[in-house]
Amino acid sequence: MVPAESVIALPVFVLAAALLIDRCIGDPHSHLHPVALLGRFIAWWGKPERYTRGLQRTAGVFFWFVTVAFFAIPAFLFWKFAPWYLYLIIAPFLLKCCFAWRSLEEHALAVVEALNRGTEAGRERVKMLVSRDTTALSNDHILSAAYESLTENLTDSIVSPVFYYSLFGLAGAAVYRAANTLDAMLGYRDERERLGWWSARMDDVFNFIPARITVLFLFVFFAFRGRLTSSYRMMKRDKKRRPGYNGGIVMAVMAGGAGVRFEKPGVYTIGDGERSLEVGGREILSAVRAVTVTKRPVARDHSRVNLEELRFGTELLKRGFASMQKGGVIMDVVNAGQAKISEEAGAVAVMALERVPSDIRKMAGDARMADPQIIAEIIDTVSIPVMGKVRIGHFVEAQVLETLGVDMIDESEVLTPADEQYHIDKKKFTVPFVCGARDLGEALRRIHEGAAMVRTKGEAGTGNVVEAVRHMRAIMGSIRVLKGMDRQEMTDYAREIEAPAELVIECSERGRLPVVNFSAGGIATPSDAAMMMQLGADGVFVGSGIFKSSNPQKMAKAIVEAVNHYEDAKVIAAVSRGLGDAMPGLDVHTLREDEVLQYRGR
């Protein structure tokens, strides 16, 4: 039993110690964590199919009391009968189990961080926080779910438990934790509706006062931010939009104060969204920190964010690499000497291959990956990135190039295809890929397979730009058409062009391809290159155009400058002077069908 003189001091000490423990260890994952045990017990009885329809509601009430008793009675007995010194040591740990302070924002921040790596990662992470279906959520909806959960937990995980602890001691906090967990597991309007009916109602009752205390705290915070009226107005307007008595009011105050919009697709929208959640999210964090008196996120959990962990070959790194090539010229080279000339002329990268496309046209037999010896020499000679071509579908050639240290692989129709059905599964590689495309559908199929860069196919080795123009116009034109479509039309269009719907939608939202889009195939002069840039290319590949011209050095420099000043006809005119002969052009209409390279690999 607790000595009488410390009736006040002891609870305060226990609370302080519990908060300290939380700060230090957060929420350890363990099967023996009391809340985990509680969860398993609820999962055991909480299966609606165990009961007949008529019995579900009664069973829900009965087991609610059993569960709460099961969780709270030990706490009560411990408080009543444990010797004070034992209580002093153990009670903080028990109380700690009833609230979550530090992990509050960690969960939301983990989602934000996952989103930085991509939508899919964000969906995966947010699934751990909310019960909604996350498969179709956009970035904004994912952020919304994360910040809604943070806002809701401000009441559930900290204000309420501390409130009940101060009124009824350890047992009070335990009753609350049990009631809240019951609602979180059963309080849904699906097949659990009847079984969870009592749990949901009791949670409404328990949180009624704490939710309003949270609101008062938030008002104080937003008053300091000069946002009191906006938060109050939003509370008046939107508090009933969310089902339940307590969640909506806190969320509406938060949405109004932070100026954001919470949205659960098809269910509710709270707030006006004066700013995006990306921006307003920081204000939400500040509000939560102010209410919970956290100076700053002291413990952005460094044990979980491993500072030494390096991730290689991610989608972001691959696309980022491609993005660094923008505004540049990538030149085809067959040996180290040509690579050196290209680098000196200002190429952003060189493409190593056995023969330039125009020689491949003349040669009989299969065209394959270049000799590793030559690729290694080129890599040793230049400091700019070195790319290499592999046959369509030839994943072993790709493995070889990756091993050699090539920076990007071109799965190219210029070489003889190795697989007439499948392209390489490019997501399996650490090194990024570029692929050719003639239209939007083909581009998006390649991106779906993992290409980090797309280029027009054009008609390589002809020195004739007409096909590159056709392909660039087809891609850019389709994206312009997409912008006027609604969702259904886009889904339909995706089926028509045989591309994944989510990529079609992404193109329409961004107004461009999700990856860098270069032009290739038949570019022979500075004007050709500048035209492709004006048509929307992010950069150009020049194949035979440089080393089949009469003065490669000069031609290379001229094309680099023309791309740099693609909108300045004066510069293009100046650099085009006295270049000597460009490569001889071929009329693509005179090619036999089996000579047309662009039909390879669709």
Binding site for other proteins (CB under 8 A): 109, 113, 115-117, 275, 278-279, 282, 296-297, 300, 302, 305-314, 316-317, 320-321, 323-328, 343-344, 346-349, 379, 383-385, 402, 405-408, 430-432, 560-561, 564-565
Report, in Å, the least distance between residue 536 CB and other proteins: 13
Report, in Å, the least distance between residue 355 CB and other proteins: 24
Q: Specify the residue, 32 or 307, whose C-beta has the smaller distance to other proteins.
A: 307
Q: Specify the residue, 176 or 321, whose C-beta has the smaller distance to other proteins.
A: 321
For 595, list phi and psi in degrees, rounded to 5: -95, -10
Among candidate residues 262, 285, 319, the one with its CA nearest the CA of residue 454 = 319
Q: Specify the residue, 281 or 417, whose C-beta has the smaller distance to other proteins.
A: 281
Q: Specify the residue, 435 or 469, whose C-beta has the smaller distance to other proteins.
A: 435
- 75 and 92 Cβ atoms separated by less than 8 Å: no
- Please list, in sequence order, all residues whose beta carbon lies within 8 angstroms of the beta carbon of residue 216, skipping any fewer than 6 positions away: none
What is the Cα Rg of the chain in Å?
Answer: 32
Note if 389 is an active site residue.
yes
Report, in Å, the least distance between residue 293 CB and other proteins: 17
- 368 and 388 Cβ atoms separated by less than 8 Å: no
- 436 and 457 Cβ atoms separated by less than 8 Å: yes
User: How far, in Å, are 39, 60, 178, 198, 199 from residue 65 at the CA level?
Assistant: 15, 9, 10, 10, 10
Catalytic member of 318, 389, 457, 548: 389
DSSP state of 519: B
Report, in Å, the least distance between residue 318 CB and other proteins: 8
Report, in Å, the least distance between residue 109 CB and other proteins: 7
Residues in the chain: 602
Q: Specify the residue, 178 or 287, whose C-beta has the smaller distance to other proteins.
A: 287
DSSP secondary structure string for all residues of 399-443 = HHHHHHT-SEEEEETTSPPS-SS----GGG-SS-EEEEESSHHHH
Q: Specify the residue, 211 or 384, whose C-beta has the smaller distance to other proteins.
A: 384
Cβ–Cβ contacts within 10 Å for residue 422, how many? 12
Is 239 strand, coil or helix?
A: coil
Is 483 strand, coil or helix?
A: coil
Report, in Å, the least distance between residue 482 CB and other proteins: 20
Q: Specify the residue, 52 or 306, whose C-beta has the smaller distance to other proteins.
A: 306
CA angle 256, 258, 260 (to 5 degrees): 75
User: How far, in Å, are 318, 320, 429, 433, 451 from residue 515 at the CA level?
Assistant: 10, 9, 17, 11, 8
Report, in Å, the least distance between residue 495 CB and other proteins: 31
Residues 136 and 155: their CA atoms lie apart, in Å, by: 28
Residues 538 and 518: their CA atoms lie apart, in Å, by: 5
**Residues assigned a catalytic role:** 389
